[in-house]
Amino acid sequence: MKRFILLLSICFPLLALAQNWEHVKNSGEYYFGEGVATIGNDAAQAEEKAKNNALANLISSIATQVRSDFNMIENESNVNGNLSHEERVENCIKTYSQASLKNVGMMPPHINGNLITMRCYIKKKDLAQIFEIRADKARDFVAMADMALEKRKIDMALQYYYWAYSLLRSLQFPTEVKGSNGIALVETIPLKIESILSKVDIKFEKRDGDYVDLLFKYDGEDIQSIDFTYNDGRAECKGTAKNGRGMIEMIPNYNTDFYHITIDYQYKEQAQGDGEMESVLDVLTPKTFKNVTQRVKGKGNSSMAAKSNTPVQKPQVAATQPVKPQQAEPAKNEPTQSQLVSNPAFYNDIINQVLQAIREKRYTSVTSLFTLDGLDRYNRLISYGKGRIVGTPNIHFYKGMDNTVVARGLQMSFSFKTGIKKTFVEDVIFTFNTENKIDNVTFGLGQVAEGDILYKNGSGWSDQRKEILMEFMENYKTAYCLKDIEYINNIFAHDARIIIGKVLKKAVNPSITQEKNISIDGQKLISYNRITKDQYINNLRRCFAGNEFINLRFSNNTIQYLEKIKESKGKDYFAIQIGQEYNSSRYADKGYLFLLVDLTNHKEPIIHVRTWQPNEVDIDKVYNIGDIRFD
């Protein structure tokens, strides 16, 4: 898997002064551009403006000269009016100036009076290499999509297939990029997307007032995660289905027998942070696909009238085996009976009281069932947008840490209305203390991420350590979703190494290194920005204050128990790699999170290292424990 270029910069190697600009213009070997700006009070700003003008002229020059043999894929309807071939070519070429135009030479600035002139150029023979870099990126996206589809990660498969297709459409000769079968990828990718969409089945489950519960399946099995849009009777809204369930919220008293659900395959929000991908998606007319929108028939609106008379369903109790997560390991890796509570009926009665209070919005009627800490989390939960229970809960009770009991199997939907309306479905977990009070409420990791931990075997993987990890990851996710800044502040070590990375093709300045007590290998591949814990917490405070909601989704877990490294000194260190999808009311992205955490005292976890890298990188190539060296 090739590394992708994420540093959004353009190289400007200075020519030797003897280089002749007239030769650049007249030799026929270069594309070139000139830019002029007025020097005011800020000479550096004027020079930057002149550079940008020169680059814009360079792009126009390239577009003008290559448009005659630039093959466009013209099978899309243009939603923005009819663009000429020349305009389409120029739009495609402009995407390179924003993210990946390399090998651009820049002449020294020329100053004449109050005017500054910048001149840039690129060798014509280097243009093919620029297109090939983008073709490589598209091939890598296809490989990632193939792996995602094999693992039935439908949202990731759609995203990377469509991103690859979009990159290929922006190439000079898109049909020349072949797959392993020798057929052009721009021909096969749309067929793969169509095939996926044809196997997505959305069914109406019930309507409760303005809320509509939907069931999402792919080829007969629950969809792990997928994004969609719908019209609530007034405007376009966004939703996310999880573990086979999704919810839409209609405007008050809007009656319809059909709901139109459109599956998201572009994932434009997740492209934020990748300037190249973002610009390509912006300038290309979207490709339309069959089956992307489904007309879901409801069952009239009788449930609206009967809302107040709907009986409360008691959650089902699993006294023996929990439901296996989708795509779980074979039977030999199923959890043991030692993980399960033998007599769950007592806890089930308490959970049923809480569920009834949530359904009837009598939230304070069950405060006596919680500890103070548990009540704080519960109050945060019921304030997380508009929350409601979906489906019939199928609760399983696990033995937790220190004789606690953990209840899993409840799903709730949450909706938010800042900007575009957004809905999420989340698993909700309750933890009972030894006095049978609910001491904690968290969001679950999802069936796949949960299964990666519960069904893990090997040296050191006791039931206790599995529960420790589950507890930590659920608390970590919940703290970000519910904006619990105090918890986050407490779990990071004072000298925690917090790194936000960008992937490079070239070596970085060797002076940009970590402090001596930790080092990251492969600096030629990673450029990173180290920030302090205080900076990180302050940034989070601003983020929490500026967003109506934050939501995290996890996948692609790789977790190592570090019992054999001498630096652990008898402590329980875990290295956690996990795919993370971040959504908020203002921003969204996907990437890989790496945590090095000390869970010796599970009540006081300590994060020593946190890194985040964009979703461009295969998980096998992101930060891992092999990159960390203690001194």
- Split at pLDDT 50, 70, 90, the class of 83 is low
Residue 401, pLDDT above cutoff 60 = yes
pLDDT in the model for residue 156: 87
Is 509 found in the same domain as 547?
Answer: yes
Judge whether 279 lies within some domain. no
Q: Among 83, 113, 128, give the residue marking a domain's end.
A: 128
Instruction: Point out the least confidently predicted range of 99-103, 215-219, 242-246, 520-524.
Output: 520-524
- Split at pLDDT 50, 70, 90, the class of 625 is low
| Total domains present in the chain | 3
Is 627 found in the same domain as 576?
Answer: yes
Judge whether 191 lies within some domain. no
Is 446 found in the same domain as 324?
Answer: yes
Is 488 found in the same domain as 629?
Answer: yes
Judge whether 619 lies within some domain. yes
Instruction: Point out the least confidently predicted range of 292-306, 388-402, 528-542.
Output: 292-306
Is 498 found in the same domain as 448?
Answer: no
Which helix (H) or strand (E) covers residue 129, if one does?
helix 124-150
Report the distance separating Cα 278 and Cα 158, nearest Å.
Answer: 16
Render pLDDT for 132-186 as a digit per residue (tens, 0 to 9): 888 998 998 899 899 889 988 899 899 999 999 999 988 888 899 999 899 999 9
Give the rounded percent of residues in the chain with a pLDDT score beyond 90: 38
Is 519 found in the same domain as 389?
Answer: no
Judge whether 193 lies within some domain. no
Q: Among 461, 493, 512, give the residue marking a domain's end.
A: 461
Is 338 found in the same domain as 449?
Answer: yes
Is 521 found in the same domain as 456?
Answer: no
Instruction: Point out the least confidently predicted range of 46-60, 145-159, 328-342, 344-358.
Output: 328-342
Render pLDDT for 552-604 as a digit per residue (tens, 0 to 9): 988 767 788 776 554 556 678 888 888 888 888 888 877 888 898 998 888 89
CATH number for 343 = 3.10.450
Instruction: Point out the least confidently predicted range of 188-202, 248-262, 342-356, 560-574.
Output: 560-574
Task: Give me the chain's average pLDDT, please.
Answer: 79
Q: Which of 358, 376, 380 is nearest to 550 (CA)?
A: 380
Is 417 found in the same domain as 498?
Answer: no
Q: Which domain holds residue 337?
A: 311-461
Q: Which of 537, 530, 543, 599 is nearest to 568 (CA)?
A: 599
Render pLDDT for 419-429 as a digit per residue (tens, 0 to 9): 788 999 999 99
Confirm if 19 and 100 have CB atoms less than 8 A apart. Answer: no
Is 496 found in the same domain as 452?
Answer: no
- Split at pLDDT 50, 70, 90, the class of 2 is very low
Judge whether 466 lies within some domain. no
Residue 16, pLDDT above cutoff 50 = no
Judge whether 215 lies within some domain. no
Confirm if 5 and 103 have CB atoms less than 8 A apart. Answer: no
- Split at pLDDT 50, 70, 90, the class of 333 is very low
Residue 113, pLDDT above cutoff 60 = yes
Is 394 found in the same domain as 524?
Answer: no
Q: Among 100, 128, 156, give the residue marking a domain's end.
A: 128
Judge whether 497 lies within some domain. yes
> Hey, CA dihedral for 189, 193, 198, 200, is it positive or negative?
positive
Judge whether 368 lies within some domain. yes
Render pLDDT for 443-499 as a digit per residue (tens, 0 to 9): 998 777 777 787 766 666 777 888 888 889 999 999 999 999 999 999 999 999 888
Query: What's this model's pTM, rounded to 2 decimal places?
Result: 0.70
CATH number for 593 = 3.10.450.50
Using a 10 angstrom Cβ sphere, with 0-12 exposed, 13-18 middle and 19 or more buried, the burial of residue 311 is exposed
CATH number for 101 = 3.10.28.20
Is 557 found in the same domain as 511?
Answer: yes
